[in-house]
Structure formats: structure tokens, C-alpha cells
Structure 1
Amino acid sequence: MSEAEFSDWALKICLTGLILFLGFIVWKLGKESKAGKFGMFMLFFVLGFGVFGFIFKNVLIEFFVLNK
């Protein structure tokens, strides 16, 4: 396994763990602050939108930059 392959796998695994941990933090924050259904929805929507933006950026890089 080369260093590039290891870095690619480590990024995917560690980033997934970080996203799950951030989801837990947001859930606990919403629960402790008694945010309610709409508040929890907004907290997770904003977190999900950020994650979607990161994934979308990587997809764009894969399709438009690396496939030349």
C-alpha cells in the first residue's frame, strides 16, 4: 500500500468518524437546550448542508479536474 492510498483511506475513515461525532455533539446540544423538533431539524439541516457541500466539492474535483 502506497502512502497516497493510505492517505486516501485514512481521510475517508477519519472524516466519516468526525462527521458522526459532530452529529452526536449537535444532537446532545439540541437535547440539552430543549430545541424542540424544529430546532433539532434546523441544527441537523445546517450540519447536513455543510457535509453535503464538502462531498459535492470532492465530486466536482473528481469529475472536472482529475478526468482531464
Structure 2
Amino acid sequence: MFAIAASTITDWGLYILLPIFITFLFFIMWDISKKSEAGHAGTFWIFLALGAGSVGFLIKLLMEVAFEKWFI
């Protein structure tokens, strides 16, 4: 059979599938702001509120790469 390690599946999900999902969520936020006619300020707040978790995830990924490259 095809044996794939659990860590491989986790890595694929974390580093490939999750960023694709986050990109799709940003598209959804853009669509929500356009359909609700939120304007510039409303669009800003939609992206700030809903995008904060995604940005935090991306910062975490960058920090992991930096720590692995320079400190370990």
C-alpha cells in the first residue's frame, strides 16, 4: 500500500492547503465588502477583523522559518 507518514500529511495540510484556504477566505471577505457596499472604511474593518487571524498565522510561519534557519 501507499504509506505516507502522519508528519507528511500534517506538513502538506499546514503549509500548502491552509494557505490556499486563507487565500479563499480573503476572497470571501472582499466579496462581502463589495456586496454590502461597505465603502473604504467598512472594507478596512472587515479585513482588519477577519484577516487578523490569517496574518497572525503567516507571521508564525515566517518566525518558524527564521528560527530554524538562524537559531537552530
Do both share a fold (TM > 0.5)?
A: yes
User: Which residue of structure 2 aligns with residue 35 of structure 1?
Assistant: 38
Gaps of 5+ in 2: none
Q: What percent of counterpart residues are identical?
A: 40
Q: 1:52 aligns with which of 52, 55, 70?
A: 55
Q: Which moved more, 1:51-60 or 1:19-28?
A: 51-60
RMSD: 2.2
For 1:1-68, list aligned pairs within 5 A.
2-55=5-58
Q: Tell me the CA shift for residue 2 of structure 1.
A: 3.4
Normalized against structure 1, the TM-score is what? 0.68
Normalized against structure 2, the TM-score is what? 0.65
List structure 1 segments (4+ residues) > 6 angstroms apart after TM superposition: none
Is the radius of gyration larger for structure 1 or structure 2?
A: 2
Gaps of 5+ in 1: none
In the alignment, the residues of structure 1 paired with residue 57 and residue 34 of structure 2 have an alpha-carbon distance, to the nearest angstrom, of 26
